[in-house]
Amino acid sequence: MKQKINVFWFRRDLRLEDNAGLFHALSSGLPVLPVFIFDREILDRLEVKADKRVSFIYNALVSLQEKLIHAGSFLLAEHNYPEMFFQNLVKKYSIDTVFANHDYEPYARERDKKINTLLSKNNIEFKTYKDQVIFEKDEVIKIDGGFYTVYTPYSRKWTERFNEADLKAFKSEKLLSNFIKHEPVKLPSLASMKFEETKTVPVDVTFNRSLISSYDKTRNFPAVKGTSQLGIHLRFGTISIRQLVDKARRWNQIFLKELIWREFFMQILWHQPGVINSCFKPEYNNIEWRNNEKEFEAWCRGETGYPIVDAGMRQLNATGFMHNRVRMITASFLVKHLLVDWRWGEAYFAEKLLDYELSSNNGNWQWVAGCGCDAAPYFRIFNPDTQTKKFDSEEKYIIEWVPEYKSSDYPFPIVQHQFARERCLSAYKKALSQKSPKPIQTNLFDDR
């Protein structure tokens, strides 16, 4: 007779420390088999095979595997479709419960629904827990039960709830002896999954207290290392949100507010998943975008003739990171100066950003475009030259990423600011004057 076991499924929580679902699995009284799926539904669609995010995940799993081997266990990792993986797993093991942490994005919700159905047919429970946020779903809502669509009252209620809550850590790292005992098993190689190893950010996390403490003073200046760059670690769960929020509340309130913004956008996506394809404010679906492909490609390459915009895009293309202030400037330029649909830019950032999270990426692009919840007014159009004078006055950031700046090799501006501003205002006013909004667009990128 097979030994009865439980399974913990690593997803967006690639750590052994302070891991809610893992803690519950290891406290369950049965040996725990840890698993990870290199999801073919996601990975097979990636066009770039030297993807820095895939390398980051792989390095995180290598680190996990080393710790598990030290504990006398191993990580079972496969390149597979989730349903096929679990179909095989239930044949091989006698499983009581599969544990995991919640994932809120539409694909993940649909995937988990299918896995739950599959496991139920085999009399296996599927239990998931809150881990990647402090508050989720309906935990921060209005008195009337509705969800917040404006950040400030959401933040106020979030803080109120946080001050009342007991923010406890889950000491999963103290229970590693409860993993199933097994000889080491190799991870599948990147090459076997048709990916190339590429240089990415380190998996190990350092909480830089001096940086976070001065975050409010340095965060807007791209030539200064004034942001935490912890986004990728939150995205893949190599750090605990509980640990980070605890440090933020003690070290810097402005940094804490940025973490609350993340949860604000997550609850918007949960309650209103249609924002993936459509404007939160439906009347903005009436905008007639120019969608000039050559201008979009020039923006992607960082060849618009606007140095701060080009510097940002080149930093993104080279590193997978772009400074937060410059993200707003580049996004505003694409949408407002070039009248290219915000969804084109959102998709490009999704492809390139190491710290890409659907909810934040979507929410911030809609904020810039003026069409989202709690958005900047549509007539707010960033002037790249003014932004440069304010935040890169010595042009150090520009010179770092656009070395040919001020030479004859640098292109002329793709469009004049004042002309672009007036054209944008005209297009937006025309769209908002129409009585009935256009329906959600589905095959948006087919004409790109």
Q: Round to whole Å and give the CA distance between 236 and 233.
A: 5
17, 139, 285, 289: the catalytic one is 289
Q: Round to whole Å and give the CA distance between 339 and 333.
A: 8
9, 365, 367, 401: the catalytic one is 365
Does residue 371 contact residue 362 with C-beta atoms inside 8 Å? no
9, 158, 251, 261: the catalytic one is 261
Q: Round to whole Å and give the CA distance between 342 and 336.
A: 9
Catalytic, 258? Answer yes
Count of beta carbons in the 10 Å neighbourhood of residue 50: 13
17, 258, 395, 400: the catalytic one is 258
Provide the β-strand partners of residue 136. Answer: none
Look at residue 21 and give its three-state secondary structure: helix
Token readout for 110 is 């649909």
Could you tell me which of 110, 81, 59 has the C-alpha nearest to residue 238? 59
- Cα–Cα distances (Å) from 92 to 5, 86, 88, 95, in that order, read 11, 10, 7, 9
251, 342, 367, 401: the catalytic one is 342
Instruction: Calculate Rg over the CA atoms of the chain.
Output: 23
- Cα–Cα distances (Å) from 191 to 55, 58, 186, 194, 198, in that order, read 11, 11, 14, 5, 12
Q: Round to whole Å and give the CA distance between 375 and 371.
A: 6
Token readout for 286 is 């009436």
Catalytic, 289? Answer yes
Catalytic, 9? Answer no
Look at residue 203 and give its three-state secondary structure: coil
Q: Round to whole Å and give the CA distance between 98 and 422.
A: 57
Token readout for 439 is 């329906």
Q: Round to whole Å and give the CA distance between 392 and 396.
A: 7
Q: Round to whole Å and give the CA distance between 110 and 276.
A: 15
Look at residue 353 and give its three-state secondary structure: coil
**Residue 137 gets which letter from DSSP?**
T
Catalytic, 324? Answer yes
Could you tell me which of 48, 12, 56, 13 has the C-alpha nearest to residue 201? 56
Token readout for 179 is 């993993």
Catalytic, 401? Answer no
Q: Which residue is it, tokens 């000039």?
A: 292
285, 324, 395, 400: the catalytic one is 324
Catalytic positions: 258, 261, 289, 324, 342, 365
